[in-house]
Structure 1
Amino acid sequence: MRPRLRLFAPLFAALTAGAWIVLWLWDAGPYARYLHQTSWTELPGVGALCRAAPGASIALAATLHSAAWLLMIAAMMLPTAFPLFDTFRRMTVARDERRTLLSLLIAGYAAAWALFGLVAHGFDAALHRLADESPMLLVNGWMIGAAIVAFAGLYQFSRLKTRCLDKCRSPLMFITEHWRGLSARRESFMLGAGHGIFCIGCCWALMLLMFAVGMGSVGWMLALGAIMAAEKNLGWGKAIGKPLGVALIAWSAWIVAANTLFV
């Protein structure tokens, strides 16, 4: 193996570790609120900018949300897709444009998750608006959290979850099914985006838990990232799916009981 090829895994690990370090520093610093769900116009300096430039509020909010979300994806989801990236790298090692193709593969994967992030943030904003307009939900916000946790638990038993997980656990088969190398750059990007879609199919319900327990919690991100990586890449990963579903449903039931029976 040539020295340059042996560098891929360490560099990838360093990139992932760097993303986690940045998240930790961000969360521990004075600007931690940028990671969490809040009104962007309430943050120091941001409100003044939004008032000074009409329309800047939407653009700035989208920029900050996207930056935070992509950093989270780099930390949480890129490691779970390492087998795909490494397999593709080895299959294209003889091509002159191999670095470009690998970059496009990763970009396609990140683009799929970025689009999901926009949808998830829109869903979260809609829930906040619904809660603001509903006195019952405003007082009993725990109901939304309990529902999200229960849904994430039930999704662990779904056929869609199983099908997407099977696709993610077989990177070589996925590449041979979706990449011919005829229009190499376009196919590389679409391969990454396609795998990202199946990855979202595996993990989207678990990712929504971040909105239930607190967006930007580095501890929760570490826990969820480890669970999703184990599910997709370890031999015993499938075995944790149903127990995790049971645990989430039990957690939801505890939230309901704690807020109805023990108050």
Structure 2
Amino acid sequence: MLVRSRLFALLFAALTTSAWIVLWMWDGGPYARYLRHASWTELPLLGAICREVPGASVTLAALLHSAAWLLMIAAMMLPTAFPLLDTFRRMTSKRENWRTLLAFLIVGYATAWALFGLVVHGFDAALHRVADQLPTLLADGWLIGAAMVALAGVYQFSSLKHRCLDKCGSPLMFITEHWRGRSARRESFLLGMSHGAFCIGCCWALMLLMFAVGTGSVGWMLALGAIMAAEKNFRWGRLIGKPLGVALIAWSVWIVARHAHIA
């Protein structure tokens, strides 16, 4: 059992490390802009496909942004979910299909984050389209960034964040509340989705900072991932929230003051 636990931890670490390496290589390569806000359809081959196939541009962009988003989630959020995955693995280890159940759990978790990613990317795309049509909004885009930073700061003090954090920080209790093992595969998938939903409840405001500072910034992803992992997996992590909230609010005030001074 101990050997299996260590092997699982090593494989999990290898998966997470691989995701970070891919992101780092992508961010340092010639296509780094496609990890952020640039259009995927600017690529030579993809652009040709989009010109020939009606509606391909929107569909292709959505699929590729989703793939990039899931890669970020694998790097940032899977480490925060390790206690849940390891606890579930130990609870189901006597079942012959425990690997399948664990896979359904991970897919459910990823599905919740993928849906959130589609919503956020859709909102981000709509906001950029509006900004392109309104030069004044584009010129004052810093206001949007300041508002997002302030929102993330205020959310650190909300009761909803702390209720979600309590759920994410108690993997054994969470599993016993949401998994009975009767319809094992379906319950495993729904368990993953439920846990993903509570993780989103903890972290959505911090994840929005990715759009304020630049989606795909590996440095910011490392910082935010470390903060979210500490909040969920360590007792002292709960002490991070309020100082972080104060720092984010102060940052938003600094952004406003800086641009007001320039104006």
Q: Into which bin does the TM-score normalised by the smaller protein fall?
A: over 0.9
- 8 Å contact from structure 1 (residues 34, 64) kept in 2: no
Secondary structure class of the residue paired with 1:93: coil
What is the match of residue 153 of structure 1?
A: 153
TM-score (norm 1): 0.97
- 8 Å contact from structure 1 (residues 165, 199) kept in 2: yes
Q: Does residue 18 of the first structure (1) align with residue 29 of the second (2)?
A: no
Q: CA deviation at 1:42?
A: 2.9
Q: Which amino acid counterpart does residue 223 of structure 2 have in structure 1?
A: A
Q: Distance in 1 between matches of 2:205 and 2:160?
A: 12
Q: Which amino acid counterpart does residue 246 of structure 1 have in structure 2?
A: V
Q: CA RMSD in A?
A: 1.1
What is the match of residue 116 of structure 1?
A: 116
Q: Distance in 1 between matches of 2:2 and 2:152?
A: 44
Q: Distance in 2 between matches of 1:141 and 1:35?
A: 20
Q: Distance in 2 between matches of 1:85 and 1:20?
A: 19
What is the match of residue 85 of structure 1?
A: 85
Secondary structure class of the residue paired with 1:45: helix
Q: Distance in 1 between matches of 2:47 and 2:97?
A: 45
Q: Which amino acid counterpart does residue 77 of structure 1 have in structure 2?
A: M
Q: Distance in 2 between matches of 1:94 and 1:205?
A: 39
Q: Structure 2 matches for 1:80-229, cutoff 5 A?
A: 80-229=80-229
Secondary structure class of the residue paired with 2:94: coil
Q: Distance in 2 between matches of 1:256 and 1:141?
A: 11
Q: CA deviation at 1:235?
A: 1.2
Following superposition, which runs of at least 4 residues in structure 1 exceed 6 angstroms of deviation? none
Q: CA deviation at 1:240?
A: 0.6
Q: Distance in 1 between matches of 2:169 and 2:246?
A: 23
Q: CA deviation at 1:40?
A: 2.7
Secondary structure class of the residue paired with 1:30: coil
What is the match of residue 233 of structure 1?
A: 233
Structure 1: which 5+ runs fail to align?
A: none
TM-score (norm 2): 0.97
Secondary structure class of the residue paired with 1:157: coil
Q: CA deviation at 1:259?
A: 0.5
Count of aligned pairs between the two proteins: 263
Q: CA deviation at 1:2?
A: 5.4
The superposition leaves residues 18-39 of structure 1 with CA deviations (integer Å, 9 ceiling, x where unpaired) of 0000000111111112211122
Q: CA deviation at 1:252?
A: 0.4
Q: Which amino acid counterpart does residue 149 of structure 2 have in structure 1?
A: V
- Same amino acid, percent of matched pairs: 77
